[in-house]
């Protein structure tokens, strides 16, 4: 299981755990005018830089085996291309009223993951749980990266 933590301790850092092991960190910088820049790190190595201005996502730098491209960005869904595959992230804007899921992740139009909020905001921040229906490491890895890209603008 994947745990994504959005702490409220002022670091603006997103922390991702795979089980109990630190998997990824995302250092966020907030700029005037609704611009957010996220630097993705895995084992202290920078693997990507992503920028969001309002709802427009731009991948500035990436160091992956496959190339990730954002090709559709709508209000509550974002589509990514990973070589010949497609990832679609669907957000639930009415989560607090209809809390079956927080987000869903599709790989080539097949549901591969569901994100649920473990706990609503408390003094430590927000914690999300990502549950996968697949054991394919490539699908999980690129789904996590794509999902975190859409989460940069979650401001706690």
Quote the CA–CA distance of 57 and 148 in Å, as a whole number. Answer: 12
Is residue 119 situated within a structural domain?
Answer: yes
The edge-to-edge listing of strands for the beta sheet with 45-53 is 56-62, 45-53, 35-42, 21-31, 13-18, 2-7, 125-132, 110-122, 103-107, 85-91, 77-82, 68-73
- How many structural domains compose the chain? 1
| Residue 143 pLDDT exceeds 90 | yes
- List, for residues 6-28, the tens digit of each pLDDT value: 877 666 789 999 999 999 999 88
The residues, ordered by sequence, that sit 6+ positions from 62 with a Cβ below 8 Å of its Cβ are: 47, 48, 49, 68
Question: Would residue 156 count as lying in a domain?
Answer: no
Report if residue 88 sits inside a domain: yes
Q: Is the pTM of this model over 0.85?
A: yes
At 146 the three-state DSSP class reads helix
Q: Domain range spanning residue 11?
A: 2-151
């Amino acid at each position: 299981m994947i745990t994504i933590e959005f702490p409220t301790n002022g670091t603006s850092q997103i922390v991702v755990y795979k089980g109990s092991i630190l998997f990824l960190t995302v250092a966020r910088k907030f700029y005037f005018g609704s611009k957010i820049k996220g630097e993705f790190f895995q084992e202290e190595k920078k693997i990507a830089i992503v920028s969001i201005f309002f709802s427009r996502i731009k991948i500035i730098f990436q160091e992956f085996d496959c190339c990730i491209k954002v090709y559709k960005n709508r209000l509550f869904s974002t589509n990514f291309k990973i070589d010949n595959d497609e990832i679609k992230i669907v957000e639930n804007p009415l989560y607090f009223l209809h809390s079956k899921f927080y987000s869903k992740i599709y790989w080539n139009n097949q549901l591969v993951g569901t994100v649920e909020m473990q706990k609503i905001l408390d003094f430590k921040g927000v914690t999300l749980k990502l549950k996968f229906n697949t054991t394919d490491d490539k699908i999980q890895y690129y789904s996590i990266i794509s999902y975190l890209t859409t989460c940069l603008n979650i401001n706690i």
